[in-house]
Amino acid sequence: MESKLNILIVSDEPVLLQQLKNIAESTEENVLVASTTDAIREMNRETRDIVIMTQNETDLAIDLVQSMRQINPLVLIICIAQQTDFVLLRNLMRAGTDEFFVFPEETSLFTSRFPTTVKNYAIQKNSRESATAKSFGRGRGQIFSFYSGKGGSGKTVISSVLAQTLKLESTAEVILIDLNGQYGGVESMFSIESNRSLADLLPVIEELNESHIRNVSKTEENSKLEILVSPIDAEVAETLGENFVAKLLRTSRRAFDYVIIDLPSNLTGPVITAMEESDKIYYVLTPDTPALKVLKYYEDLSARIGVNLMGRMEIVLNNISKENEVQQKDLKNVLRYPIAASVRKDIKGLQPFINKGEPVRKVVKERKLIPFAKDVRKFTREILKQ
């Protein structure tokens, strides 16, 4: 079964936005709407095949088209103007626009032509996918955030080992980012001693590029995983706001195939920004009643602040054991979100690595893997299949 195309409609005019939405939804593809200010974030969050955008300010429209084309060179961009302007048409075409319509004069023309445009794009996309083998390329990596509203869930251990395993099990470029600003945590998993942290990127955040990130990140010697450690200083961490996190993640997405984020439990502005930029939010849940209550609080709070979890959040069950009062089969009837992975309780196998600050994984084909590492490897391979 062929997957549906993702169509993004960008407009700040409610009437025109609804009109375009009705036309796009008639094709039975996936349709999402966004304001001009949210357009680039939505392009970064998920691959968009076709973008329909209305033009208000000429310079802003040109900047948007160029940015979208940079994020996804294969995107089909259709611009809708409300007056005939040949200079604007020329500039938009030079910027990367594929088609241009003037409303309301060409509304019927657009309505009749759009289904054919969608069909032709789908054919071209399927041809490209069948001719191209699975490979990793620069331009648009995936961002996975690991979060839990309850402390001690094991999200730092799981995110760290998953990032290490992703790097060992594939040819992908992987970076692990620790956003636990006050106390850190990831550095202890790899015995990292460094005076540099992601806070050192603050002076260059407006012109941030891959070189800046690699100059600050630490390279794990076994897997060559890149690690951006957190400043273990609450005062410094407070200077890293929402804009900093957004620019850091968008640049990392363009430079790496996988961006793994270890998030703190408190829902601050930067944490919410990281969630919004993420392709997936993996909520690490232990099988006990207090953890389930905190999950429910998190769901309610996310709904109030406008963080969309449906279709983006999955559960990672940690500390699974036969001795637990709450078993996995019980949770399947309670949870609203799919279970992405189950990780066994493995204190005996895991604790020595944590105490020594040694990576759980060091080489590709290890003869003896502890149960925890086996479960994370299984989780990793499922991610690589996607």
What span, in angstroms and rounded, lies between the C-alpha atoms of 228 and 352? Answer: 24
Question: Do 57 and 186 belong together in one domain?
Answer: no
What token pair was written down for 305?
């602040």
Task: Quote the DSSP letter at residue 323.
Answer: T
From 343, 356, 306, 296, select the one nearest 35 (Cα to Cα): 306
124: CATH: 3.40.50.2300
Are 126 and 152 in a shared domain?
no
Is 250 in the same domain as 302?
yes
Residue pair 314/337 in contact by the 8 Å Cβ criterion? yes
Compute the Cα dihedral for 21, 386, 71, 35 and give only its sign.
Answer: positive
> What per-residue confidence (pLDDT) applies to 134?
45
pLDDT exceeds 90 at position 221: no
Residue 135 inside a domain? The answer is no
Domain stop point among 84, 99, 130: 130
Whether residues 116 and 175 share a domain: the answer is no
Q: Over 50: is that where the pLDDT of 137 sits?
A: no
Average pLDDT over residues 130-136: 48
Give the torsion sign (CA, 366, 371, 373, 379). positive
Q: Tokens at residue 175, please?
A: 């970076």
Last residue of a domain, one of 86, 102, 130: 130
Q: What's the CA gap between 351 and 358, in Å, rounded?
A: 10
316 and 222 co-located in one domain:
yes
Supply φ then ψ for residue 23, to 5 degrees. Answer: -65, -45
- pLDDT of 130: 55
DSSP state of 191: T
In contact, 147 and 275? CB cutoff 8 Å: yes
Q: What is the pLDDT of residue 184?
A: 61
- What average pLDDT does range 121-150 have in this prediction? 71
Give the model's confidence band at 343: pLDDT under 50 very low, under 70 low, under 90 confident, else very high. Answer: very high
pLDDT average, residue stretch 273-287: 92
The residue range of the domain holding 106 is 6-130
Asked if the structure places residue 137 within a domain, the reply is no
| Exposure string over 136-161, b if 16+ CB within 10 A, otherwise e | eeeebbbbbbbbbbbeebbbbbbbbb
49 and 197 together in one domain: no
Strands (E), the chain: 6-10, 30-34, 50-54, 76-81, 99-102, 142-147, 174-178, 218-219, 226-228, 258-262, 280-285, 313-320, 339-344
Q: How far apart are CA 325 and CA 88, in angstroms?
A: 66
Average pLDDT of every residue of the chain = 85
> Tens digit of pLDDT for each residue in 173-203?
899 999 987 666 788 788 787 788 888 999 9
pLDDT tens, 52-99?
Answer: 998 766 677 888 888 888 888 888 999 888 877 777 777 777 778 888
- Is 11 within 8 Å of 20 (Cβ atoms)? yes
Residue 201 and residue 212 in contact, taking contact as beta carbons nearer than 8 Å: yes
Q: How far apart are CA 331 and CA 287, in angstroms?
A: 8
Q: Provide the domain count of the chain.
A: 2
Domain boundary residue, one of 130, 158, 183: 130
Looking at the predicted structure, is the pLDDT value of residue 374 above 60?
A: yes
Q: Is 60 exceeded by the pLDDT of residue 136?
A: no
pTM exceeds 0.75 for this model: no
Contact 5, 29 (CB under 8 A): yes
- 3-class state of residue 170 by DSSP: coil
Q: 10-14, 128-132, 271-275, 333-337: which range is least confident on average?
A: 128-132
Whether residue 112 has pLDDT greater than 60: yes
Please determine, for residue 143, whether its predicted confidence score (pLDDT) is greater than 80: yes
Regarding whether 153 and 91 lie in a shared domain, the answer is no
Q: Are residues 99 and 146 in the same domain?
A: no
Is 371 inside any structural domain? yes
Whether residue 136 is contained in a domain is answered as no
Question: pLDDT grade, residue 157 (50/70/90)?
Answer: very high
Q: How many CB atoms lie within 10 A of CB 194?
A: 12
Q: Are residues 269 and 317 in the same domain?
A: yes
Classify residue 240: in a domain, yes or no: yes
User: How high is the pLDDT of residue 127?
Assistant: 73
With respect to residue 1, please indicate whether it lies within any of the assigned structural domains. no
Q: Is pLDDT above 50 for 255? A: yes
Query: Which CATH number belongs to the domain containing residue 238 in this structure?
Result: 3.40.50.300
What is the mean pLDDT of the segment spanning 123-151? 71
Taking only the tens place, the pLDDT of each residue in 27-53 is: 888 899 988 888 888 888 778 889 999
Tokens of 22: 């009705």
Within this chain, do residues 114 and 146 fall inside the same structural domain, yes or no? no
**What's the pLDDT at 362?**
86
Q: Report whether pLDDT(354) > 60.
A: yes
Is there a single domain that holds both residue 101 and residue 213? Answer: no
Judgement on whether residues 188 and 48 belong to the same structural domain of the protein: no
* 237 found inside a domain: yes
